[in-house]
């Protein structure tokens, strides 16, 4: 069974553009979380979705949005890209979103570079 998959693996955009990142969770997992990891830092929580509803949001501007589809896959959208948005974007899936103990399994990430 495949783990968490993310696409694309790498992406180069210019300032002001918009980007969509995609994530497919492990089969049977209903919760997806998104994180931003700037080089040399730990991941920062952006969003969590469970059963297609937003269950948590980190301290990110409204330029960041996400959604979860009926098959539990998810997209992260970032509008009006800034140089500071350059980072590794990680997706993590877990069985459910209701318990903090649910282990999260991370995907390989999407490396976004904004020029």
Partner 1 sequence: KNQVEQSPQSLIILEGKNCTLQCNYTVSPFSNLRWYKQDTGRGPVSLTIMTFSENTKSNGRYTATLDADTKQSSLHITASQLSDSASYICVVSELTGGGNKLTFGTGTQLKVEL
Summarize as ranges the residues that interact with partner 1 (CB under 8 A): 4, 31, 33, 35, 40-45, 48, 50, 55-56, 88, 90, 92, 94, 97-109, 111
Q: What is the largest CA-CA distance in the chain?
A: 39
State the nearest-atom distance from the C-beta of 48 to partner 1, in Å: 5
Long-range contacts of 7-12 (CB under 8 A, 24+ apart): 7/110, 8/110, 9/108, 9/109, 9/110, 9/111, 10/110, 10/111, 10/113, 11/110, 11/111, 11/112, 11/113, 12/112, 12/113, 12/114, 12/115
In the complex with partner 1, the residue whose CB is nearer, 42 or 70, is 42
State the nearest-atom distance from the C-beta of 113 to partner 1, in Å: 13
State the nearest-atom distance from the C-beta of 53 to partner 1, in Å: 10
């Amino acid at each position: 069974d495949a783990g968490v998959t993310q696409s694309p693996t790498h992406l180069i955009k210019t300032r002001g553009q918009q980007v969509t990142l995609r994530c497919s969770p492990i089969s049977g997992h209903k919760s997806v979380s998104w994180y931003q990891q700037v080089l040399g830092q730990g991941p920062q929580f952006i969003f969590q979705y469970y059963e297609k509803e937003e269950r948590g949001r980190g301290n990110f501007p409204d330029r960041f949005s996400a959604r979860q589809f009926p098959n539990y896959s998810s997209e992260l959208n970032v509008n009006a890209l800034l140089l500071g948005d350059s980072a590794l974007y990680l997706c993590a899936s877990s069985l459910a979103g209701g318990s903090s103990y649910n282990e999260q399994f991370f995907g390989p990430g999407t490396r976004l570079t904004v020029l």
